[in-house]
Amino acid sequence: MSIDTLSVQGVRNLANTQLNLSPNVNIFYGLNGAGKTSLLESIHLLSMARSFRQARTKTVVSHELDELLITAKDSDLGLLAVRRTAKGQVQIRQNGQSLASLAELVQQKPLQLIDSSSFSLLEGSPSDRRQFLDWGVFHQFPNFHSDWQKLQKSLKNRNSLLRSGKLSKAEFEVWEREYLSCSERIDQARKGYLEGFVPCFHEVLSALIELPELRIHYYRGWDRSKPLNEVIEHQRERDQKLGYTQSGPQRADMRIKTGKLNAADVLSRGQQKLVVCALKIAQSVYLQSQQKMPTTFLLDDLPAELDQNHIQKLGALMERLEGQVFMTCVDPKPLSNFWNKPEQVKMFHVEHGAVINSAVNGEQE
Ligand SMILES: Nc1ncnc2c1ncn2[C@@H]1O[C@H](COP(=O)(O)OP(=O)(O)OP(=O)(O)O)[C@@H](O)[C@H]1O
């Protein structure tokens, strides 16, 4: 599954652009502000119908236009199109048909992004790590998405009944029962996923860097030794005072530690980047092994914070991935010479919002 051709209109500073892509590795290089990240953003929009620069999603549409349109020919999925107006309306089409939900699109086209915000996997809040974990669980277990939606609904209702102070016992019990059964299923799915994922992660990590003490610890969101019904029963009075449910899968975490310390507190910036890359690559390798589903990879400014040796190791892993890879860099030299199959690597020179040159294996097209 790969994007053969990509057409971008109305995205930030990019001129109307049409690209013939490599099914393997694609590199966008050029000076700061040239439009490289905007190309990654376009591919992200195509797969997720939203930008990864979330705070600025509304500003993706070019200042001079009212809407953007990204279309692509995908080797498996056919013609994909995402239209987004400056006011935020989104239309997603596959082979001319509107898609019913975003989950449908995301399910078909798994995507991983590595950019400067990905460090939040190590140093950010548990919700960043839950989001990462649930990416894998979502793709592996078909019922996970609906369980997650049911959990959100039952939790919202439980919390609002707690806050209202007028607890109708019967109503409260209905939502609490639903909350408990969804929680159990979500925890089981996450545990099941991690059992397969963690060994895969250690394998990928060791291909990148030696960090023998690094471990992933799963916290399910409540006391490991007690069932959730006992825990929330015990906490009900305090939940009522606080107005929300203190324990459950919405509080889960996937802590990443070196010995007893948080990895973010001891590892260098470059080491952290390698751990983040290993986590994301391992998710794709694992998904490929379980579901035979390749992942599209977006890497913004790959060489930043890495030495040449580690850039090469990372490049070698990227090259072996089944999915299509898109990366950006300012200087293409560190990414020029080490590929095992250079004919599968395509370089695009971006300047002032336009791709001015593209080349395969050093030869101009
Ligand atoms: N809505 C918009 N309309 C027009 N231009 C925009 C819009 N939003 C941002 N820009 C401009 O688009 C340019 C492209 O930015 P982009 O982040 O893609 O660059 P980049 O090549 O990735 O740079 P860097 O190497 O600094 O990360 C910037 O100069 C920015 O000012």
pLDDT confidence of 364, banded at 50, 70, 90? Answer: low
Encode pLDDT of 261-307 as tens digits: 999 999 999 999 999 999 999 999 999 999 999 999 999 998 999 99
Residue 361 has pLDDT above 80, yes or no: no
Does residue 33 have a known ligand-binding role? yes
> Is the beta carbon of 84 within 6 A of some atom in ligand 1?
no
Q: Please name the residue whose Cα sits nearest to atom 29 of ligand 1.
A: 33
Q: Tell me, what's the ipTM?
A: 0.98
Residue 105 pLDDT = 73
Ligand 1 atom at shortest distance from the alpha carbon of 13? 5
Q: Which among 329, 270, 271 is positioned nearest to 298, based on CA atoms?
A: 329
Counting from 1 in the atom list of ligand 1, the atom nearest the Cα of 330 is 25
Q: Given ligand 1 and candidates 12, 16, 85, 355, which is best to mutate, with the most ligand atoms within 8 Å of its CB?
A: 12
What is the value of pTM for the model shown? 0.92
What pLDDT, on a 0 to 100 scale, did the predictor assign at position 54?
Answer: 60
Ligand 1 centroid to Cα of residue 57, in Å, is 13
Query: Does the Cβ of 12 fall within 6 Å of ligand 1?
Result: yes
Atom 27 in ligand 1: which residue has the minimum CA distance?
32
185 lines ligand 1 (CB under 6 A): no
35 CA distance to ligand 1 middle (Å): 5
Which pLDDT band holds residue 348 (cuts at 50, 70, 90)? very high
The answer to whether residue 344 scores a pLDDT higher than 80 is: yes
pLDDT tens-digit series, residues 296-326: 999 999 899 999 999 999 999 999 899 999 9
What pLDDT, on a 0 to 100 scale, did the predictor assign at position 231?
A: 97
3-state SS, one letter per residue, for the chain:
CCEEEEEEECECCCCCEEEECCCCEEEEECCCCCCHHHHHHHHHHHHHCCCCCHHHHHHHECCCCCEEEEEEEECCCEEEEEEEECCCCEEEEECCEECCCHHHHHHHCCEEEECHHHHHHHHCCHHHHHHHHHHHHHHHCCCHHHHHHHHHHHHHHHHHHHHHCCCCHHHHHHHHHHHHHHHHHHHHHHHHHHHHHHHHHHHHHHHHCCCCCEEEEEECCCCCCCCHHHHHHHHHHHHHHHCCCCCCHHHCEEEEEECCEEHHHHCCHHHHHHHHHHHHHHHHHHHHHHHCCCCEEEECCCCCCCCHHHHHHHHHHHHHCCCCEEEEECCCHHHCCCCCCHHHEEEEEEECCEEEEEEECCEEC
